[in-house]
Each structure stands twice: as structure tokens, then as C-alpha cells.
Structure 1
Amino acid sequence: MYSTTPTILALSALLCSFSQAGELAPAEENTSACDFLKSIGEVYKNDENPYIQELTFFGRFQWQYGYTEGEAMDGEDFDEQYTEIRRLRAGVEVDFLKHFELKTRLNLEQGGPDNHRLGVDDFDTATLSYKVDDLWGFEDVEVSYGRQKFTLGAESHESSRKIKTVERSNIGNYFYSGKRPTGLLVSAERFGAEFNAGIYSTEDDSDFIGGWNDGEAYYVGIGYGGWQADFLYNEVDVTDGEATEDDIFEFRWASSLAYQFEHGRWEILFNALYGELLDGEEVYGAVIMPSYFLIEDKLEAVMRYQYAGSDGNNLRLTKRYAQEAADTRKGDENHTIYAGLNYYFCGHRSKILTGVEYETLDRDNGQDADAVTFWTAIRMYF
């Protein structure tokens, strides 16, 4: 255990220095201050070397504070606050033999809300990829195998480094939930569209590369213009209504259709999600998220409305932090509305996010819960 105060003060000072550079320093000094985060991890790069072309280290630090209050389904009021190192990751990427890439990333925070403990927790990702510019008429072809980030839903396609809200939406996390399955993924571009197809192990008991003893799931994704469609089919073994234990996906099948567009300082995201759980009940929802730069590239306002529904009581309050503070009783309908302000010191590489969200959770027997959660977060990566 340790105190996070010195770390937070140091990071705050660094963020302030970027802010002052942007307001007071000449343009070339401001550029060099931000370029430091871009280049600090670049150890070696030589495209002419036939053996090793590039060696890069990278990492991210995300700290946040949350305060939540509301009424749980049992009628009890709750009122809690939390601090958390949300993500602390470090990794390395090696490009070699012209077409291969080895990339690994470690999670270095073992605690959780109000439990700050540093140390290697597990591998976030670990992949070996083969890349070629042109193959059979397809461009930017990449074949990767290993422990990978699974994407289904618009918010999961955006890295946690670049999401505009402190936490992804409740329904977005329900379908995605930070899954890291072992699998083979193929991606390529043609006709102006990006195609992705993969096969994943459903095993959920590994901190590194998983095995293939439990079953397989199949994924297809297509992106074109501002559209993104995802579909997952889980070849799950169900006996007497009970699925194989430790299935990582928790869905028989799941789908998402999203559209995102920009116009001037506006950016708007629409996302609909629908799926069937292992017990046969269905879960569905939608997200609408507009954002607008009040000060171009610096100060951004973000709004988000989310609806989630279920055949049965399969939904909870938002995990961080209303679910932590309230009881764990589930419901069948969840509404949330989020409003936030983000300040970018060096784009997404150095920023502060603030947000407040109001949500309700209803149960089919008439019980309900509600919560208001306030967040503030520091996000940095290199």
C-alpha cells in the first residue's frame, strides 16, 4: 500500500506545465513539449535494417476520483467516494523481418477503487502479427495471433486513451467489458472498407495466452465511412440450460451497428447493440453521444444518453461507482445521461476529464434505484 498524493501532485504539475507552454511559450516550444510524449518511447527506427526495423516502448497512466450518491433498490440511501489508478500499463513493440510485429502490454496496478497497489497483474495484450501492404487485391493486410483486445460496439473500438467520457457507457461495457480473449484476427482493406474476421477461444482462466479446450467464438466486423458493424457468434456448449463455465463472452451471439460523423467542431456518435445471453434472454440498448469543442482542440463539451433493456433482470447500475456503493440487485431497464468537460493539453496524450452522470435502474417487480456520479480524471500516455 502507498499514498498516491505525490504521484498526483507530480502529474498535475506536468499537466500545468503543458498548459502554460500552450498559453505563454512560442509555438515551437509548445510543439516540443508535446512531442516529448510522442517520442520518448521511440528507442530505435531504421527501415533499411533487414532484421529489426523499430523498437518502441509505450505506456499509459489514468487516475480518477469518483463521488456517487443515490437510493438503492432496498430503499437505503448511499453516499460514497473513491480514488483509483484506473489503468497503469507499459508495453513494448518490435517490428522485425520487414513484415512481423511483436507487441506486449502489461497491467501494472493490482488493486482497484481505494486499493492502490503496484505490481505486475497480468498481460493486457500479447500478440504476434504479420503485415503486408498488398495481398490478393486487399490492402494493409494484417494477421495477428495471441491475447488481444476484443471489440464489439463503437466505444470499444476507441482506445481508453482516447475515449471522451471518464467511463464507457453501461450498455457498451456490458457487451465489451474489457475482454482479452486468445484468438486469430485477420484485417484488411478493400473498396474503401475495412474488414475484420476472427476466431477466439472462449476460455476465461488465463493471464497470458489461453488454450482452446472450452470452445470457439467467431467475429466479423466491417467499417465503411462513418459506419461500423460488429457481429459475434459463440459456439457455446449448453446442457440443460447451463453454459460451459468460464465462457469469456457470456453471449450466444451479439451485434452492434454504429455511425459516427464530424461536422466542424461537432462530433456525434450513434450506436445500437443487441444480443442473446447464454441463458437465452436478450439484452439490448442504444447510445447517443454528441461532443463540441468550445475552444478548438482544447476545451470540449460532451453529452451522452444511454438506454439499456433486458428480457429479465440482467442489468446493474454503472460499475464505477454506483454499483460499488449500492446493493448488487439487478434490473431490466437502465437509463443514463452524462455531461462532461474535457481539457486537452496535448491532445489525448495529456488531458483532464470531468463528468457527471444521472441514472435509473428499474426492476420488473416495480423496485427501482437511482444514482448521481461525479468523476474527474487525469489521463496521460506516451
Structure 2
Amino acid sequence: MTLQMNRNSILRRLAITAVTIPAFLSFADAGEYGKAVIDDKSPISSSPWSICSLFDYSTLYEGDGLIKEVALTGRYHGQYISQTEEEGGASNGFHNWQHRRARLGFDVEFAGNLTFVSSINISDGSGSSFGLTRGVFFDDWDELFVKWEPSDDVYVLVGKTKQKITMENMESSKRILTVERSQIVNEVIASDYPWGALVGFNLFGIDQEVGFWLTGGEVDSTGERWKFPSPDGRGGFTYRGNLPVSDATQLYFGYQFTNNASGFANGSGNADSDHGSQYEHVAHIGTKSEWGKLGLITDVIAASNRESSGPIAAGNDTWGFVVLPYYNVTDKLQFVAKYAYMDEGRQQRYQRYFVRQYLDGYHTFYAGFNYYICGQKLKLMGGYEYATVNEFTTGADIDSSSWVFAVRSYW
């Protein structure tokens, strides 16, 4: 009897839940009928099921009222690196699987061209080289913002998001063509997204964006890394734009200012965490060209007034460039090559697994293939990078070879 009563109680609760959730969503839709969606891309399809069909299930709800759509978002980026390094006759290296990125979030589209975006980093607190093995589930916010697009040419964004300066950094990690961005890019960009307000617009045929930023963040009372914006931090400014210069080529340019007192302070100010670049000024000019199956990305980057770190004094400058050709062998297979140079700075991935050294004259050569199983939503990447550089203080030669294999997925 007790078992039967418990079963009936469970069934009643499930029935109430099944009725309540659609009713709530319909109420939130301001009287319009909403519908739960199982396959948001092709509810009725004659094509056979494949692993790529899994990515059609990310939309949780669609409606015609206040709430237009609710979607589950996320990404997983894992990579295996096998590296050897020679420095002054001594050899070292590592062979390691890295949980490079793991994120979950929700996108909510409202009426009136208003979108809410949230994304959290999932980590164990020990860094992306290990990850997903211990510690808290919520590491910190990746992005958290509201975006309003009143027209095709204008948008306003407020919240935590990326400063899209340099060619490789303006592209999402979901779609970059090499496993890691270039060393000069990782040297000059902010290591964490700041909080800010952006306005995008088209003027004189140029797509432009102006941003104002807070580069200090606060943790909560328990010490968790929420990194909410802090009035005790410093600030920054960005401007970027792009325009076509021919049928095949788009020109990009950008400038980033971080108030670091000419390198004698950092963006955190008196706040708990720093969300700004280590350089006061960063500027770049780049191009993206496509001629049929062949493409080319170029970028020239300059930065000045670095924060002091190790043997690098406050106010130090650097510069570099990136040349990245690619060729689409088939619809799914792509060949990518890259040469990048950085004048001075700290050691970056792939070479930074051990103690991050300070370097001078950083040359890297990369070649690899990308295989698009489900387009950008599921792809395999593999390549080889050779790096040669001098140690900043002693001038000792450092040469490294890195084989890298990666899986990239998002939904």
C-alpha cells in the first residue's frame, strides 16, 4: 500500500510539473502561445540522423511573445601537446592532455531585438592545463551581458565581454584556425574579459565600435571568483573598425587603452582582480582575404608601456606580426600555416607549460590540418609548431618543437 501511495504521489508531482512549466512559459510570453522545441533546425527532415544532429537540440524554447527563444550554450576544447625544448644544451619537455576550455551558459532572446548572454567557466581552480578534476564547478563568469540591436547598423552592449582587438582575438576560440593564438596576441590582450559598455555603428561605410571599460573586478564574500565590476579598479577604452578594400579583402584596425599609469600600475587598481591588458596602448592593423579556396590573414601589432614583470621594466614596448594562409582542400579538410613574430615578452602557449620565461625575438612556425566533422561545431585539429627565441636576460638560445592535437566543440 505504501509503495502504491508513493508511486501515485510521484506521478501526481510529475503531472503537475508537466503542466506548470509550459503554463509559466506561456505566461512569460505575454499571452502568446509558446512551444517547446526538440529539433530547432529541422523538426521534420528526411535526412538520416548523424552525430551532427545532436547540435540541433540546443534550443529549449521558442515563442512569439516577450521571450522569443531560450538556448543552452557551451563549449568543450581539449588538446594534447607533446613538446620538447632545448635551452643551453639542456633538454626538457612535456606530454599532456589539457582541458583548455569548458563553458556552459544560456542565451535568451527577447522581443525588441534584445538578447541576454551568459557563460561560465567550468574549472577546478588549478588552471586550464588540468581542469575538471577537483574543486568548485563554477570557476568564474566568461561572459555576462545584454545586447540591444535597434537596427542592422547599430548595437549597444553592456556587461562582461571580450575586447576584440587584433585579428586572432576578435575571432571566437570556437572558430580560430590554429589550436592557439599567436604569442604576440596573447602577450598584449587582457587575460580576462573586463566589464564595459559598447556601441557599434556603421558610418561612412565603415563598421565601427567604441567601448568603455572597467578593468578591476571583485570576488564575493566567500572568495569565489565572480569578478563583478569594481569601482576600485581602473578603466580603459577601445575603438575598432573594418571596411572592404576590394572584393576579396577586408581591412581591420583597432586601438586599446588601459589606464596603467604608463606601466607603473595595473588595471585592477585596488580591486581584487585585473581584467586589463598589461600594456597601456595596443594598436593593430590587419587584413582578411579570400580567393576561392585560398585565404590569408595578416596582422601587425604594436604595444607600449608594459607593466613591470621579472626582468622586463615598467614602460617596456613590444611589437609583432602574424601571417596566416589557409587552403580549403575539401568541404571538410583545411590546411593552415602560420608564421608569427614577437619582439619581447613572456613565454606563451604552447611553450609555457613550465616556468614562463621572459623572451626576446620570438619566432614561431606552424603547419597543420583542420577536419570539420560538423562544421565549426565539431572539428579536429592537428599541427606542428617550431619556436626559436632568445632568453631575455642572458640571450641564451631556446628552441622548441610542439606536436598538438585538439578537439573543438560548441553548441
Aligned residues of 2:190 and 2:278 also touching (Cα < 8 A): no
Aligned residues of 1:215 and 1:237 also touching (Cα < 8 A): no
Aligned residues of 1:126 and 1:209 also touching (Cα < 8 A): no
Corresponding residue for 1:232? 256
**Displacement of 1:191:** 4.0
1:132 to 2:150 alignment: yes
**Length, aligned pairs only:** 338
Could you tell me which of 54, 69, 75 is aligned with 1:60?
A: 75
Structure 1 distance, partners of 2:105, 2:76, is 12
Structure 2 distance, partners of 1:163, 1:115, is 21
Could you tell me which of 360, 376, 379 is aligned with 2:405?
A: 376
**Displacement of 1:70:** 1.3
1:95 to 2:119 alignment: no
1:58-108 deviations in whole A, cap 9, x for unaligned? 111111110000113x54210211111111111101122423221100111
Could you tell me which runs of 5 or more consecutive residues in structure 1 were left unpaired when the two chains were aligned: 1-26, 134-138
Name the CA shift for 1:328/1:34 in 2 (closer, same or farther; >3 Å): closer
1:187 to 2:200 alignment: yes
Corresponding residue for 1:217? 236
1:113 to 2:141 alignment: no
Could you tell me which of 57, 64, 74 is aligned with 1:40?
A: 57
Aligned residues of 1:334 and 1:360 also touching (Cα < 8 A): yes
Could you tell me which runs of 5 or more consecutive residues in structure 2 were left unpaired when the two chains were aligned: 1-44, 220-225, 245-249, 269-273, 308-313
Q: Any residues of structure 2 matched to 1:334-345 within 5 Å, and which? A: 334-345=362-373
RMSD over aligned CA atoms reads 2.1
**Displacement of 1:145:** 1.1
Relative contact order (C-alpha < 8 Å, sep 6+): which is higher?
Answer: 1
Q: Which has the larger radius of gyration?
A: 2
Structure 1 distance, partners of 2:356, 2:346, is 10
Corresponding residue for 1:84? 98
1:356 to 2:387 alignment: no
SS at match of 2:168: helix
Identity over aligned pairs, percent? 25
Corresponding residue for 1:3? none
Aligned residues of 2:84 and 2:93 also touching (Cα < 8 A): yes
TM-score, normalised via structure 2 length: 0.77
**Displacement of 1:115:** 4.8
Aligned residues of 1:129 and 1:145 also touching (Cα < 8 A): yes
Aligned residues of 1:315 and 1:333 also touching (Cα < 8 A): no
Structure 2 distance, partners of 1:192, 1:91, is 34
Could you tell me which of 285, 300, 323 is aligned with 2:320?
A: 285
Q: Any residues of structure 2 matched to 1:134-173 within 5 Å, and which? A: 139-173=152-186
Structure 2 distance, partners of 1:254, 1:348, is 29
1:181-240 deviations in whole A, cap 9, x for unaligned? 0111111234442111001112155534311322211100101121111101223336xx
Q: Any residues of structure 2 matched to 1:230-269 within 5 Å, and which? A: 230-237=254-261, 242-244=264-266, 246=268, 247=274, 248-269=276-297
1:342-362 deviations in whole A, cap 9, x for unaligned? 111111111100011000121
Could you tell me which of 338, 342, 349 is aligned with 1:319?
A: 349
Aligned residues of 1:182 and 1:211 also touching (Cα < 8 A): no
4+ long deviations beyond 6 Å: none
TM-score, normalised via structure 1 length: 0.83
